[in-house]
Chain A
Amino acid sequence: MTQYSHPLALIAEITHRCPLHCVYCSNPLELTSRQEELATADWLHVFREAAALGVLHLHLTGGEPLARPDLADMIAGARQSRLYTNLITSGIGLSRERLAQLVESGLDHIQLSFQDSSEDHANWIAGARAHAHKLELAGCIREHRIAFTTNLVVHRQNIDHLEEMIAALEALHPDRMEIAHAQYYGWALQNRSVLLPTRAQLDRAVTVVAAAEERLRGKVRIDMVVPDYHARFPKACMGGWGRQLLLIDPAGRALPCHAAGVIPGMRFDSVREHTLDWIWQNSEAFQKFRGEEWMPEPCRSCDRRKEDFGGCRCQAFLLTGDASATDPVCELAPLHHRIEDAVREDATPGSAPEPREAPFHVLQQEMAGFWSYRTDPK
């Protein structure tokens, strides 16, 4: 039997509950309920198995991981298993005292999300009054010796404020800024017609980020994720299917990526029934698009297959109805016109109210009907 090289990172979606309702959320539309969530002991077991398998990084995410009262115990367990622990959070539910407790438990890195530069705008995108608390929390984070990343998801409603946003985030003294263009899965796909930026907006954003990188070199590391709809070639999604990463959802199902649940007919094995090692080596879902056997032309004979592994399987399914198709982002893909059509139809000013400064509740009323906020699981 083929042995696959071990995964490097484990993404643990410990809950789907979240006090924010961000319109670009990458969670699936069908969210896992609280009753189905794994218990603390199950997660600690998974972390031990992950470390034994060679995983180095643990990303605790959700939903909002702080919704779990046992978060400090999970961090302590992860640290005991020698994992590098990253908390991906909105900060809602984190007080100065709880933060100190998480750091004491062994947290290595915190990644705090921001939605926009002005408070009204940020709260409107998040569908919650969260921005002021995030700013206050950033000061508390800097009192500890942990790595601090600010994460900003960029789309048509905030992309023209990018310069102000970078300046505002710089004032919080992060070690790292993640400037991630929305990726169109889950809620973001549902809201694509108001989120997809135009090509001109993207070009300006790239220039702004390049200037910030130059100015902040040695002070803040900037990592940018570009929106693949405007790219010529697809992204190497998750570093290739079942090659480097695995994700465990709140109920314990192991997925090769965040969105894999959308692909019909996939069976996701659970850590409640199998060891992580067994899942990595044998689970049908992880085997499905490993290697090159599954690839159609033009991928199969293309030199780029070693770099992008055929792109994203979920995107292929979502836009072509066939998870084995070449990612339509690729300009060589037979169905590339699906992406061109989406850009033409959605990345068009006028398809929705244009972003403007106004109080939170006014903006919310104006956009009702143009986008849907992420809901909370039952």
Chain B
Amino acid sequence: MAELLETSIPKFAAGCRWGGTIESPVVLFPEGAIRVEGTGRIILELCDGHFSLAEIVQKLEKQFMLAPKGKIRADVLTFLEQLHAKRIIDF
């Protein structure tokens, strides 16, 4: 599996996109959909092809200043790697 680097730019894989409604958005992909809420939604909204992993982590650290050091980075990595294995996120 490709490695997610600080400079990698995570984005939706081909054929994966937002759907549902603004109040209740879902990520649509072949044969499935996931409802994303809270932090997951914030992370995926940053996966628009404009930000590197380092920049995404930085933005989240600013937003969640009280989180223990390193936790946000670890959470983002796990989340994106899971979605990469499902072929929803590419980088």
Report A's interface with B, CB cutoff 8 A.
8, 56-57, 82, 84, 86, 108-109, 111, 144-149, 175-176, 217-221, 223
Contact = CB atoms under 8 A, between A and B. Distances in A.
Contact of A57 (B16, B31, B84): B31
Contacts of B20: 56
B28 interface: yes
Contact of A8 (B2, B17, B33): B33
A179 B60 CA distance: 39
Contact of A86 (B1, B14, B30, B84): B30
B70 interface: no
Contacts of B31: 57, 86, 176, 223
Contact of A176 (B2, B19, B30, B84): B30
Contacts, number: 59
Contacts of B1: 217-219
27 contacts: A8-B33, A56-B19, A56-B33, A57-B33, A84-B19, A84-B33, A86-B30, A108-B15, A108-B17, A108-B30, A109-B30, A144-B14, A145-B15, A146-B14, A147-B13, A147-B14, A147-B16, A148-B15, A149-B30, A175-B13, A175-B14, A175-B15, A176-B30, A218-B2, A218-B87, A219-B2, A221-B87
Given A175-B15, A221-B86, A147 B33 contact: no
Residue of A82, A218, A220 with most partner-chain B CB within 10 A? A218
Contacts of B86: 221
B85 interface: yes
A319 B35 CA distance: 39
Interface in B1-35: 1-2, 13-17, 19-20, 26, 28-31, 33
Contact of B29 (A8, A82, A144, A147): A147
Contacts of A223: 31
